[in-house]
Structure 1
């Protein structure tokens, strides 16, 4: 009787037929929260079973039915443990496969609203954009979209590789978590007013790298999990096979003392997360001199990932879907040690990220990237290697992907250049840094305090501009359909035009990629497969 009264109170005053805040799923029922702004949110929905114990290093499994009849979905799920993160942090856990849903309160199961499914970044070693608030994007869309955010396993929990994992576990579990969450959307998003046949996958950095890997997954097989993509700072890291990744597995076994066990993978599964985290840190790739920024990452497994990303696009092994790709002016600055002071320091850094780089390739890179602008408290070669790394890993892959679409005569292919300068970042030399546009796309008030202060002051006018393009793309697979009046048409990318939209407050307009950048990218793309991108 009490349950009936509660449900009656929850639905009182709501639009007839509107989705109830109480949503029943096979595993359990979740009680969402209707907000005063006309949006409801469901936080901390479990989309897969806890990947702990015997499920550590295994592909994600369906959640087990809960004996608790209703779970109050008003708290974000814990964030996945990242490499070198404190295991005692009360915001992280190995049990982390949760998602959040934001939807207009008056949506119904027949609303079939477009869905924006966001994959956060973090170099596949952290969840760096966790718990973004989707209400701002929904408001900008005119209450016409549903937003989904989620966590996925990273570091060794998501990407441990080696012959033992091939035999006794599963490779690329972080990517499989992402696909598991996509499958959840296909099954259940209609219960929140969303349309499973209209899903736009967005992501930044490793999230954008994930988009490329899902677009090319299984050789370009269409599992009908998504229907358009919007990638910010797509990243092409070096892909290793399981054999090439054996060093990382072996090092972890040695550090944890599991060398004494015959079944070393079972030993790793038996360790508590605190002890495992104490031994979870990066070591150099074979042949490199320094530990890379990100040691764990997607594995070239011959199944989900069947080829290097450059070659997959070159050979047309990708889904033909409407797509946005783009980058920031100074993609590399936040990654490079500021005291990089010689060509030796510069080359050693690049080799540490891409150990297959040859001496001839490093020599050519040093020529096409000369010593650049100097900044206080930084080494002579800091900006030089920042420019090189930013184009090797981010900018040139984005241009290459847009070209791959155009070579096949595909329409609905857009590219952008984010050139919105923040005074504080400029003063220290970071410039327009990696993925900074994510703060404008979501709105500076919705990213947990990570936005530059200028995005709420001098740069505030650019926020509604990019949000209108982005939500237009989510709603119609075209950034122009619902763009703000007076803003320029975002022209599609073509091979003969190399045109992209340059975002700049008061000056947003189409631009052509400069010839010198085209030349550098042509060289870097030509060596992409040889350095395992």
Structure 2
């Protein structure tokens, strides 16, 4: 172990001046080395060394981050590279590797798509352009973070399993541009050093959610979700070696990550065996139109993609796609995602009759759920991020509804518009439609599905209370500055998630906060915890009742969920 890590102090005296100068040179070299190490993307050099973890197929060695006092294992492979014949197939166990693999740097991002920018829906794929691929199919990797040295964990710790956002077309363990990180070091700090954190990556976009009867016949559907499940099974097999308790796992995600949480809640008809998690947290539940795999919309998109890639005349079109290089696929992946209606995403989970057997709204209403404890957080203005601000003075509510949900009849469009007639201006109305139909109402459907189980609902209202504005409170370095800086709030708000992850109850606190007693959400009580501020800058955390007017609008969306494909 180095003198630095031992905390030794060197005192200058005339007798040891030469030695002191030599030591100063050594220290300057170490500081320069550390600076260079950080510049190339590694958090800290691996001293003192972490224990080697034997996963059976490979041995990995991470590093001890002396700043956070957390052991980091970065870029641990949990599945084989899904390239070539493994494209659009369920993940498989990695091939065996000899020697010791270093787990020192963030994994490469999976191929990324974009949010839709089209003015109408649907439109043909266009805006194709060449681009330099900086992503990789070899991206089925995860990061594991353990407080202290693994050898110092005396009792297995609760596990947080984080699923990233990105509309099922973008995102990674390193955020959306590769420079920001869903840093498990931060979660461990916020959790009072009482959890082990796993941050995963999974296939997204064209490579993760291509759907068609031909995919079903010659591959697997929802492979992005199957990646997530495979990683959850990896946790069950290996997390004990990292100090985690496989019997105390909480899955947590934001936006599409929260949508993924819902998918795992209803997976396998709510009867996943053996159980892969006990607790579930959804931050901004995301439930867009989720069609059957052979519905007209996914089939049309599949045909367009096959045509764009000159595979239409192939005897086996999926094998033709498997034979293409990744950069060719990425060009069409990007063009397809851009062609979606503004603020929407067109590579999403489907009903596959196996992993996802029913529309989520149906499964949730029937209470076919995995998990025993549930915490849901939604933001006041979930929809604003996904509505084109340039249409503020021109948007027409009926036309917007028809673009958002093409399956609605004219009568249903009129009924939906009537639900929001008194909400505000047409632009305010479409913001509310987007936010409630796709984010907020599905949250209530999920809450209801856990009837009789410990279930908690939070409402984040710190202005501007938009989609994703809450993330900066538990991942401070990922989402930039917080819109409200108050020591008591900064402690109380993020801690609810970690109290839940540690004890499955936000009322059991590992550290005192200003959050009052939190009553469970029930169909009768409908109690929520509000997180807001006063105009004078004081924190407001108190119990409220769910908005009855909003709940009635949610009843409407549930009544038409067969045609909105939710």
Structure 2 counterpart of 1:504: 532
Of stretches 311-320 and 329-338 in structure 1, the one that deviates more from structure 2 is 311-320
Structure 2 counterpart of 1:486: 514
Tell me, yes or no, if structure 1 residue 523 matches structure 2 residue 566: no
Does the Cα contact within 8 Å between 1:440 and 1:462 map onto a contact in 2?
Answer: no
Distance change (3 Å), C-alpha of 1:61 and 1:349: farther
Structure 2 counterpart of 1:394: 439
Structure 1 counterpart of 2:207: 157
Structure 2 counterpart of 1:39: 70
Aligned match for 2:149, one of 100, 106, 110: 106
Aligned match for 2:167, one of 123, 138, 147: 123
Q: Secondary structure at the match of 2:312?
A: helix
Distance change (3 Å), C-alpha of 1:325 and 1:25: same
Structure 2 counterpart of 1:250: 303
Distance change (3 Å), C-alpha of 1:436 and 1:294: same
Alignment of 1:290-309 (within 5 A): 290=341, 293-309=344-360
Q: Secondary structure at the match of 2:322?
A: helix
Q: Secondary structure at the match of 1:241?
A: coil
Structure 2 counterpart of 1:454: 483
Tell me, yes or no, if structure 1 residue 23 matches structure 2 residue 74: no
Structure 2 counterpart of 1:425: none
Structure 2 counterpart of 1:318: 369
CA distance in structure 2 between the aligned counterparts of 1:38 and 1:305, rounded to whole angstroms: 40
Number of residue pairs the alignment of both structures matches: 494
Structure 1 counterpart of 2:39: none
Aligned match for 1:356, one of 395, 400, 407: 407
Structure 2 counterpart of 1:415: 457
CA distance in structure 1 between the aligned counterparts of 2:396 and 2:304, rounded to whole angstroms: 25
Q: CA RMSD in A?
A: 2.8
Structure 1 counterpart of 2:44: none
Offset, 1:150:
1.0
CA distance in structure 2 between the aligned counterparts of 1:133 and 1:105, rounded to whole angstroms: 16
Structure 1 counterpart of 2:221: 171
CA distance in structure 1 between the aligned counterparts of 2:401 and 2:61, rounded to whole angstroms: 49
Structure 2 counterpart of 1:51: 82
Distance change (3 Å), C-alpha of 1:60 and 1:75: same
Does the Cα contact within 8 Å between 1:441 and 1:467 map onto a contact in 2?
Answer: yes
Of stretches 510-519 and 350-359 in structure 1, the one that deviates more from structure 2 is 350-359
Q: Secondary structure at the match of 2:563?
A: coil
Distance change (3 Å), C-alpha of 1:175 and 1:53: same
CA distance in structure 1 between the aligned counterparts of 2:94 and 2:172, rounded to whole angstroms: 24
Distance change (3 Å), C-alpha of 1:347 and 1:89: farther
Does the Cα contact within 8 Å between 2:64 and 2:71 map onto a contact in 1?
Answer: yes
Does the Cα contact within 8 Å between 1:81 and 1:93 map onto a contact in 2?
Answer: yes
Does the Cα contact within 8 Å between 2:293 and 2:351 map onto a contact in 1?
Answer: yes
CA distance in structure 2 between the aligned counterparts of 1:339 and 1:20, rounded to whole angstroms: 53
Of stretches 182-191 and 235-244 in structure 1, the one that deviates more from structure 2 is 235-244
CA distance in structure 2 between the aligned counterparts of 1:515 and 1:291, rounded to whole angstroms: 29
Structure 1 counterpart of 2:492: 465
Larger Rg: 2
1:228-274 alpha-carbon deviations (Å, 9 max, x no partner) = 10111112221112211111111001111112322211111111111
1:391-444 alpha-carbon deviations (Å, 9 max, x no partner) = 0011111122212323xxx131000110011xxxxxxxxx311132122123x1
Distance change (3 Å), C-alpha of 1:175 and 1:20: same
Q: Secondary structure at the match of 1:187?
A: helix
Offset, 1:106:
3.4
Of stretches 362-371 and 321-330 in structure 1, the one that deviates more from structure 2 is 362-371
1:302-348 alpha-carbon deviations (Å, 9 max, x no partner) = 11111011110111211251001121000000101112257864433
Does the Cα contact within 8 Å between 2:514 and 2:541 map onto a contact in 1?
Answer: no
Distance change (3 Å), C-alpha of 1:371 and 1:279: farther
Aligned match for 1:270, one of 323, 326, 337: 323
CA distance in structure 1 between the aligned counterparts of 2:293 and 2:272, rounded to whole angstroms: 25
Tell me, yes or no, if structure 1 residue 370 matches structure 2 residue 398: no
Distance change (3 Å), C-alpha of 1:366 and 1:417: same
CA distance in structure 1 between the aligned counterparts of 2:340 and 2:394, rounded to whole angstroms: 15
Does the Cα contact within 8 Å between 1:284 and 1:291 map onto a contact in 2?
Answer: no
Any unmatched runs of 5+ in structure 1? Answer: 1-5, 374-379, 422-430
Offset, 1:289:
9.8
Offset, 1:363:
1.1
TM-score normalised by length of structure 1? 0.87
CA distance in structure 1 between the aligned counterparts of 2:520 and 2:335, rounded to whole angstroms: 40
1:73-105 alpha-carbon deviations (Å, 9 max, x no partner) = 110101111225986353x22211110000012
Does the Cα contact within 8 Å between 2:50 and 2:149 map onto a contact in 1?
Answer: no
Does the Cα contact within 8 Å between 2:291 and 2:565 map onto a contact in 1?
Answer: yes
Aligned match for 1:187, one of 220, 229, 237: 237
Any unmatched runs of 5+ in structure 2? Answer: 9-47, 116-129, 176-180, 534-538
CA distance in structure 2 between the aligned counterparts of 1:348 and 1:214, rounded to whole angstroms: 33
TM-score normalised by length of structure 2? 0.82
Distance change (3 Å), C-alpha of 1:222 and 1:210: same
Offset, 1:518:
2.1
CA distance in structure 1 between the aligned counterparts of 2:320 and 2:73, rounded to whole angstroms: 37
Distance change (3 Å), C-alpha of 1:19 and 1:318: farther
Structure 2 counterpart of 1:426: none
Distance change (3 Å), C-alpha of 1:128 and 1:527: farther
Of stretches 224-233 and 314-323 in structure 1, the one that deviates more from structure 2 is 314-323
CA distance in structure 2 between the aligned counterparts of 1:87 and 1:325, rounded to whole angstroms: 39
CA distance in structure 2 between the aligned counterparts of 1:299 and 1:485, rounded to whole angstroms: 41
Does the Cα contact within 8 Å between 2:252 and 2:281 map onto a contact in 1?
Answer: yes
Alignment of 1:190-201 (within 5 A): 190-201=240-251
1:493-527 alpha-carbon deviations (Å, 9 max, x no partner) = 12222111111141111111222212212222222
Tell me, yes or no, if structure 1 residue 218 matches structure 2 residue 273: no
